[in-house]
């Protein structure tokens, strides 16, 4: 798993980490609330902010390097007759083999062209973490987004506190140049984090993935359902509870069969 860090995602991860610590250093060195607290000997807020940044970086690498739920072997072993007898064919679409890795694809799995694997409960391939978001790391991806957003909003407040007035615009830009650059970067990432967190929390609340939401008309087990019908939706509370509190591999074929009206 660790070797993933040194493949295609190394540059993205290194850039993210470097940018995080450069901005943190700018906030500590300029005349911001953090610097003022340090000068007064009040170290609680600087330490808490530093620990929050460290936590966000650790979560970033955890989600980035984690197995998202790669399908490495056939999900159902045995003959085709055994597979068909286990899963009722009257209401559940037939299981299919992936045309790329030639493995039996569980329901809600999709092959990722970038990762070269099928991923269970595939959500999307995230270029930010250079990894897929799937059944095993999706909840941690949302936790990371929440922690990252808290760190970004706090950094935004700190950067604003360090902006100093000047006599002329040229002098003002020269004095606050680094803080303004940090503000721009933090502001952009804050907007992205808010949008991603909001979208993913909504999708989790209805037990839907980004891939299913965007490509519903092309997915065999969804294209024949009604526009507002989701065979995996068990209600907001149950969806949230299952997603955040229950860590297990789910046989989505059974859930689909229970919640889809029999076509016969």
Show which residues are catalytic: 126
Angle at CA of residue 138, ends 134 and 142, nearest 5°: 155
SS3 of 112, please? Answer: strand
92: nearest Cα among 80, 106, 77: 106
Residues forming a β-bridge with 97: 104
Give kind and range of the element (H or E) at residue 100.
none
Nearest to residue 69, comparing CAs of 34, 4, 118? Answer: 118
Residues 6+ apart with CB under 8 A from 120: 68, 69, 70, 71, 106, 108, 109, 134, 135, 136, 249
Query: 140 near 62, Cβ under 8 Å?
Result: yes
261's tokens:
């009206």
Q: Dihedral sign, CA of 159, 165, 169, 175?
A: negative
- In DSSP terms, which residues pair with 131 in a beta bridge? 126
The two structure tokens encoding residue 190: 């804050």
DSSP 94: P
């Amino acid at each position: 798993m660790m070797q993933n860090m040194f493949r295609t995602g190394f540059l993205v991860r290194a850039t993210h980490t470097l940018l995080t610590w450069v901005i943190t250093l700018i906030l500590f060195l300029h005349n911001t609330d953090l610097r003022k607290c340090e000068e007064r000997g009040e170290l609680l807020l600087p330490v808490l902010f530093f620990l929050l940044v460290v936590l966000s970086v650790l979560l970033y690498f955890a989600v980035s390097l984690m197995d998202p739920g790669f399908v490495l072997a056939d999900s159902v072993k045995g003959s085709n007759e055994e597979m068909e007898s286990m899963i009722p064919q009257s209401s559940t679409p037939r299981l299919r083999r992936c045309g790329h890795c030639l493995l039996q694809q569980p329901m809600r799995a999709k092959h990722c062209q970038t990762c070269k694997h099928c991923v269970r409960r595939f959500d999307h391939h995230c270029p930010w973490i250079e990894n897929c978001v799937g059944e095993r790391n999706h909840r941690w991806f949302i936790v990371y987004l929440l922690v990252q957003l808290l760190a970004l909003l706090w950094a935004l407040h700190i950067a604003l506190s360090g902006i100093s007035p000047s006599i002329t615009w040229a002098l003002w830009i020269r004095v606050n140049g680094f803080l303004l650059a940090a503000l721009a970067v933090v502001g952009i990432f804050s907007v992205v984090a808010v949008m991603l967190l909001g979208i993913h929390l909504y999708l989790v609340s209805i037990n839907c993935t980004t891939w299913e939401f965007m490509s519903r008309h092309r997915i065999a087990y969804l294209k024949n359902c009604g526009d507002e019908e989701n065979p995996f939706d068990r209600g907001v509370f149950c969806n949230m509870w299952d997603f955040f509190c229950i860590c297990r591999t789910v046989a989505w074929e059974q859930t689909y069969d229970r919640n889809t009206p029999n076509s016969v």
